[in-house]
Amino acid sequence: EADIYQTPRYLVIGTGKKITLECSQTMGHDKMYWYQQDPGMELHLIHYSYGVNSTEKGDLSSESTVSRIRTEHFPLTLESARPSHTSQYLCASSPTTPYYGYTFGSGTRLTVV
């Protein structure tokens, strides 16, 4: 079944550690997105990609980086985690023209202690 997967679901990590949040989709979608969601609910777009080797920064400045070497894979990396990075991270994908919306993964809840 076509879907979008995020791992891990939960991650607790110490300050200064390097982390990678994984996102993979089997939808055959060109576009992929990363959102950060604080406890206040609002979604903030931090990165997006229109295809392989294409990455762009979103509306909210983030210290994280992304890569898109394969169509189905869009990992997010934090080189040195800090408590201010504690948040829910949501990955999504869509066709080139998202008439039917985005498909979201289940999210990764990151806590930096």
Q: What is the contact surface with another protein in residues (CB under 8 A)?
A: 6, 41-43, 48, 90, 92, 94, 97-107, 109
Beta carbon of residue 32, minimum distance to another protein (angstroms, whole number):
12
- Residue whose CB is less far from another protein, 38 or 79: 38
- Could you tell me the smallest distance in angstroms from the CB atom of residue 21 to another protein? 13
Smaller CB separation from another protein, 62 or 94: 94
* Residue carrying structure tokens 């997967």: 5
Work out how close the CB of 73 gets to another protein at its nearest, in angstroms, rounded to a whole number.
18
CB of 58 to another protein, least distance (A): 10
Using CA atoms, how far residue 45 sits from 12, 13, 16, 35, 60, in Å, is 22, 23, 24, 4, 6
Nearer to another protein, 38 or 80 (CB): 38
